Amino acid sequence: MKTNLKTLSASGFAAYIAEAGLPQYRAKQLLHWIYEKHAASIQDITELSKELRNRLSEKAYIGNLSIIDRRTSKDGTEKFLFGLEDGESIESVLIPDEDRLTLCISSQVGCAMGCRFCLTGTMGLKRNLAPYEITDQIINVSRAVKPKVITNIVLMGMGEPLANFDNVCEALQRMADLMKISPRRITLSTSGLAPKILELPKKGPRVNLAISLNATTDAVRDYIMPVNKTYPIRNLLDACRRFPLQQRRRITFEYVLLKGVNDSVEDAHRLVKLLKGVPSKVNLIPFNTFAGCEFESPPEKTVRSFQEVLAAANLTVLVRKSKGQDILAACGQLKAKYG
């Protein structure tokens, strides 16, 4: 069986090249073509002689996720559906915004965390993504949108990144070292696996952290996000306080507003108290509905009142209008079903 070169880590690559009897500078050259120039096949690496390309192709290939579907929303958001080698599928969402082009990528097929407001959560976990399946979303979308360039990466698609810790860390390492994406332009979002939050900066590059908080009492959070029963709010915020932040960086707290559940003025005041001492910014996300969900989106007036309480307490707060709702590309709407 041929080796997909993208399954190799940087050190695995060095070993592979040594075994093939080639000098080490070839490893660097190949990695540059695969991760920075996004070569789709060994034959595309025109810097190599035809002879060397043929020789490599006998035992190796450059695998690519296949784009099964690509849809554009009225607001310019694009959703990419990828087929994986075993027939599973995942989604990535490309979000243009003034001077940024952000790609929201998936870390798992499905998700085991079971948050009640999230469509991905209703599918359960199918499997973890391999490191190359995570980075390949970036490579393949980059190729598809040329000459536009992706400027920011968010791990906010399908899956709980910290529940696929080792593979996600390896993928982040490749983004930083091989794809030359600055970790400052990468944000990982988690539902709150507290111990892993503290392990992250030790293992991977120093990316930005986002926390899906979504409630201000354990009773409500236990109900909407079962992970809270294992790592309750106090535990989670304690991990946030200990998370080593780069200078002038802040933790983003995402707060999905669910009508009558977590959207009261009292909630807003409690949120202010909870975030005391944490360098933070808050993204309020009005709930995006989907068929069969028990929640509703609050009226605009409620969102504004909530926002005003936070702003009055000098918290940086943004209401994040979800994009791409017409193509089910908005937060919590990814299910990777074709049709």
Known catalytic residue at 91: yes
Q: Which does 298 bind (CB under 5 to 8 A by kind): ligand SF4, ligand SAH, none?
A: none
Pattern 166-185, binding to ligand SAH, x per CB under 6 A? --------------------
212 binds ligand SF4 (CB under 6 A): yes
The tokens describing 324, both together, are: 């791409």
Q: Which of 172, 197, 209, 285 touches ligand SAH by CB under 6 A?
A: 285
CB of 34 to ligand SAH, least distance (A): 27
120 binds ligand SF4 (CB under 6 A): yes
Indicate which single residue of 191, 208, 252, 262 sits in contact with ligand SAH (rule: CB under 6 A): 191
Select the residue interacting with ligand SAH from 91, 133, 160, 263 (CB under 6 A).
160
Q: What type of residue is 25?
A: Y
The DSSP line for 145-163 is HTTS---EEEE-SSS-GGG
Give residues 306-325 in contact with ligand SAH (rule: CB under 6 A): none
Shortest CB 335 distance to ligand SF4, Å = 11
Burial of 242 (0-12, 13-18, 19+ CB in 10 A): exposed
CA 137 to the chain's CA centroid: 10
Q: Which two tokens stand for residue 325?
A: 């709702």
Half-sphere exposure at residue 16, Cβ-oriented, CA atoms within 13 angstroms: 21
Contact 255, 284 (CB under 8 A): yes
Q: Provide CB contacts within 8 A for 261, sequence distance 6+.
A: 215, 220, 224, 295
Q: Is residue 253 packed enough to be buried (19+ CB in 10 Å), middle (13-18) or exposed (0-12)?
A: buried
Shortest Cβ distance from residue 181 to ligand SF4 (Å)? 22
- What is the distance of C-alpha 193 from the center of its chain? 15
Q: Which part of the chain contacts ligand SF4 (CB under 6 A), choosing from 35-43, 78-86, 114-122, 258-266?
A: 114-122
Q: Is the separation of the CB atoms in 26 and 17 below 8 Å?
A: yes
* Contact with ligand SAH (CB under 6 A) among 33, 132, 287, 306: 287
Does position 118 bind ligand SF4 by CB under 6 A? yes
Is 331 considered catalytic here? yes
* From 91, 133, 160, 254, active-site residue: 91
Cβ proximity to ligand SF4: between 190 and 216 the closer is 190
Smaller CB separation from ligand SF4, 17 or 163:
163
Binding of residue 136 to ligand SF4 (CB under 6 A): no
What 71-74 contacts at long range (C-beta under 8 Å, 24+ apart), as own/partner pairs, is 71/327, 71/329, 72/327, 73/323, 73/324, 73/325, 73/326, 73/327, 73/329, 74/326
What do you get for the CA distance between the two ends of the chain, in Å?
34
Segment contacting ligand SF4 (CB under 6 A): 14-22, 112-120, 200-208, 285-293?
112-120
The reply to whether omega before 147 is within 30° of 0 (cis) is yes
- From 50-58, 111-119, 138-146, 284-292, span contacting ligand SF4 (CB under 6 A): 111-119
Q: Which residues bind ligand SF4 (CB under 6 A)?
A: 111, 113, 115, 118, 120-121, 159-160, 191, 212, 332
Q: Which residues bind ligand SAH (CB under 6 A)?
A: 117-118, 156, 160, 189-191, 212, 214, 254, 256, 285, 287-288, 331-332
Instruction: Name the residues annotated as catalytic.
Output: 91, 331
